[in-house]
Structure 1
Amino acid sequence: MTEKTQTLTFQHEEKVISAAWSDLKKLYEHESTFLVKLSALTKSAVQPNNIEKQKVSLALQVFSEKTSAALKTSTLSCESFLQTATFLDEVIHLWKVFNCKTPLQSIYQRDPDRAAIDSSAQGDRQIKTLLAWAERAKAMEPNSHPRQQKLTRDTAKAVHWTCRCLVALSAHLLNTDAAYSHQFVTLGFFQQDDIEQHFGHFRMSAGNNFYISAQDIYNTHAIDKTKLMLQVENESIDHRNASHICGFCTKDLTDSEILCLDDLPEKLATISNDEKMSLIYIGGYICQKHPEHPGFEGDSSLFNENISAFTDNLNRRGLRFPGQELFQTLCYIYLFFCNSSSSLEHSCRKRLIIIFTDFPAIFHINLTLPPAVLSRIVNIMLKRFCLQHTKEDNEHNKKRKLAKLSSSTIAGPS
């Protein structure tokens, strides 16, 4: 983002390609009007302020497998998008190598990129990834100022030496004759996040004081112990009979909602391919979370290749595909959320579950949706609805800057 052209050139398979930040902006703006999105991008991730640039969570929205898959499968996809996705994939692969914490992680997540470093062929592949990134970072170091489509000098050196040192460390632990020789190396433990998180908790408990004392640590432990005791006592109370009741729970369908239901079949054709790809992904998530309903599940052959490409791109033989009935029901529920935004502001989750229970019968779909499944669907849609209707930009900072400018006066000649 700080490079003048906001473009990075890098070496990939003996050719030089470019990754452009503008591609991420285009993808975000394209999806900003959709209730469900393919990528993990938010406005804070695409246009962060100086403080937000340091947040790992926002960086992970950019360097995400979903964002990469969206660049490859979106209707806006082009050669520039594919090159940016290639750069994201390379960084994601390096991130997985750095964060491996168990030798079984690659098996559990069906992802060979998360394998530990050992003497096998897969371990050699991880070593080659680190060496390749060390050379790539060295090549991306600027030779002069200003830098042209390169990393900053400090970033390039940090990546280069980190990768080289981890390779040397792994080779020593695997090949040494000492008593501490290892069968495998998991690089995820060679970091200080746990220590930083631990002492960050102490500092926040001491009133956001960076310089804490032993007494502050003792007081924090006492508070944590008290919280744990209260939590154990509260868990003994039976909350199963507690039920949500509000003035909207039993509210009947409004006239505008009834008209919206009548128009939904005609609006099915208005759902774009990107939205359909996201709904298929959500449907697969529902199938995976509710294996007790095998009738929900289908396969990719039921869908057009264009609208199943997003899930296919992310699939490592573990993702599910929804059946036609579940997918069609999701489309109707999605359209109801899109076209009833004004009435949704005066609804609750319980009311929406009651309404959607009748959707299969209303639209002549041979499907029964249990309350647990409907609750999960409503939670997903409500989350997207709230995110879409919440301003992501920091209005407080803008107002504060305007107030400073308006209150400042230009001193005249004395």
Structure 2
Amino acid sequence: MKKSMTFLLAAAVAMFAGCGQEETVEKQPEVTVEKTAEELKEDAVAEKMEHMTVEEKVGQMLMMDFRKNPDDSGMTVLSEDVAKKIADYHLGGVILFAENLDTAEQTKKLVADMQKAADMPLLIGIDEEGGMVSRLDKSQIPHTSIPNAKDMNGDTAQAETAGKEIGSVLSELGINVDFAPIADIHTNPENTVIGDRAYGTDAQTVADMASAFAKGLESEGVSATAKHFPGHGDTGTDSHDGMAVSEHDLQRLQEVEFVPFHRLADEGIDLMMVGHITMPNVTDDGLPASLSKEAIDLLRDELDYDGIVITDAMNMGAIVDYYPDGEAAVKAVEAGVDIVLMPADLDDAYNSLCEAVQTGEISENRLDESVERILSLKYDKGMLVP
């Protein structure tokens, strides 16, 4: 009985105290912490990646060209076979060539149909430098003719205008990545692959001009790509035909060849294209930069670049003459490349990468680093729906 009375008394006291608290304590307003734009992007990308398979992640790291139909005609209308490849390989991007372009309306439809075929929005790229490297010049698409980089004579206003004009046309067509500007310095008169495509023969002029072109391009919503790291302007061989070599030591590269790339890295350019160029006096692995971890580490650490690293076309002689397609793709990803451009054999590259992840040769964390960069760019372009 005594225990029961004690319990009832305690309960009454608690109720009284509770009532008093309700009368004296004011409700605190709810505090809403708004996320920053960067946090919202990180959340959106993480949410997408959480539900992606290894195969889907590998596909995001591949960008393919589909130039021709089986009858050798240009593929200006999306074929069922190519639509199936885009979907089955979960491709992250497609690069267009002159064979894909006819009229503006035709190109818009081709791009739109490619996007419909993809399970995640595609990066659609093109080599449009103006001058001697212009896919638009071979089409009926209205555009302003852009002179060779050399002929701009260091006029940064002209370079920016050129980038803006090209960007305007590409954006209208649905093309969101341009593999330009050239950041190579034409210091070797014997060089046959760069030549008049370069903005000049000294580092500062090239840095200023490439920066201006990229600014114009990006003002129209098209991503710019600096190429070809570590510098293709003083090589004696065209990497389309065989292995190109840069004989310079690291100090020379830092003082000359790296200067334009460093400038563009500082300015946050979306992509950097790594060439099939060996650096025997800088790296010890004997590999072209596109397959060399030592070279990619220079780009990441020396130039402090954290954007997307993409290879030059992997169907070029500098690669296919020396490495099987699957092996080359695996080496590129192991080296730290984010996007493997135009492997000669898509099936071999894709399956070799998937197998390398399954066996542990490439970790899924290594894939995630690249896929996060790729999806972050797609988010910035409004291509990822939360």
Same structural fold, with TM-score higher than 0.5 when normalized by the shorter chain: no
TM-score after normalising by structure 1: 0.23
More strand by percentage: 2
TM-score after normalising by structure 2: 0.24
More helix by percentage: 1
